[in-house]
Structure 1
Amino acid sequence: MKKRIEINVALEVFAKEEWSEIDASLLAEAERILEIAHAPYSNFLVGAALLLEDGQIFSANNQENVSFPVGVCAERAVLSYAMGNNPNTAPVKLAIVAKRRAGMELATVTPCGLCRQTINEYEFKFGKPIEILMLGPGDEMYRASGIDQLLPFRFSDLNS
């Protein structure tokens, strides 16, 4: 008998007037921090802000290196710092904002594959999803309820 595994994914889209106060705060912090990203090679600036369950907020941006494989994405930078310093406090929300270069319109982006797997690691560790907020042009916020909406067949045991 042939077996089929099917997963449905969805993102919610919100206009600015529909954002919660905390979502607006996280997105504003991610947008603020992207302006000082170190991205001299790609000119692609990314900022991320992370809310922990105890209310702490951390932010980081992408850090490029002339040797491209050793650069660090904003999402992994903020998760690494926050989890390295607060290993027992679950992340709740992660906001991501990006644009091509200073002064340009925002780009709608989702976390890269490495970042998705890193988010998955912390969802697994704490046994709860991390809401992912992504800001695009025109103040549209895209919300994923957890990494399963961006990485449906993530590296895990499909039998569990």
Structure 2
Amino acid sequence: MAQPQTREWQSTLTVWSPDDLDEADRELLREAHEAASKAYAPYSRFQVGGAVLLEDGTVVRGSNQENMAYPSGMCGERVAVFAAGAQHPGAVMCALAIVSPSPKAIADAFMPCGGCRQVLVEAERRQGKPLRVILQVRDEDVMISESA
């Protein structure tokens, strides 16, 4: 009988003050906040914006898009990642900023949903390089994971 394999997955989030981030991370967060301002969220009123930084410096933005036929909408980070894949096939995604300006967002509980996590992990594995994830609620502290 074959022996089972063990696989471990661990994610560590580092918490930063926005003032302590480098300019590239602050700019990516600004792009994500701009994307969130274009969210279509009439039902939840929970806007989310995503901004993907590609290896060549290109930034691709996306925002959540809701639909009355729930769950036909899509999360902001997934819109950004899928747009990057559609517009720049094969490009390496270095970082993804995900933000919400919503008063409903809870800073220390703001994370991608399970579907989005699956998309991020698969994107990271497909490109063979880590995808850094940067999370922020409103203008509060920033949480960073060095990989999906």
Same fold (TM over 0.5): yes
| 2-structure distance, mates of 1:111, 1:71 | 15
Unaligned runs of 5+ in 2: none
RMSD of aligned Cα (Å): 2.1
Q: State the Cα distance separating 1:6 from its structure 2 match.
A: 5.1
Q: State the Cα distance separating 1:138 from its structure 2 match.
A: 5.1
TM-score of the pair, normalised by structure 2: 0.88
Change (3 A) 1:68 1:91: same
Preserved CA contact (<8 Å) 2:35 2:63: yes
| 2-structure distance, mates of 1:88, 1:2 | 34
Which of 24, 27, 33 lines up with 1:25 in the alignment? 27
| 1-structure distance, mates of 2:139, 2:86 | 35
| 1-structure distance, mates of 2:129, 2:38 | 31
- 1:122 maps to which residue? 123
| 1-structure distance, mates of 2:72, 2:14 | 33
Structure 1 residue matching 2:71: 3-state secondary structure: helix
1:78-127 C-alpha deviation (Å, 9 max, x unpaired)? 11111112112110000011143xxx476431111111111111111110
Q: Within 5 A, what are the aligned runs for 1:50-89?
A: 50-89=52-91
| 1-structure distance, mates of 2:121, 2:67 | 25
Structure 2 residue matching 1:43: 3-state secondary structure: coil
Structure 1 residue matching 2:99: 3-state secondary structure: strand
Structure 2 residue matching 1:54: 3-state secondary structure: coil
One-letter code of the match for 2:97? A
- 1:44 maps to which residue? 46
| 1-structure distance, mates of 2:9, 2:124 | 18
Change (3 A) 1:87 1:10: same
Number of paired residues?
Answer: 144
- 1:12 maps to which residue? 14
1:42-92 C-alpha deviation (Å, 9 max, x unpaired)? 111000111000100011100000001210111111111111121121100
Identity of aligned residues (%): 34
Change (3 A) 1:4 1:120: closer
Q: State the Cα distance separating 1:137 from its structure 2 match.
A: 5.0
Preserved CA contact (<8 Å) 1:50 1:93: yes
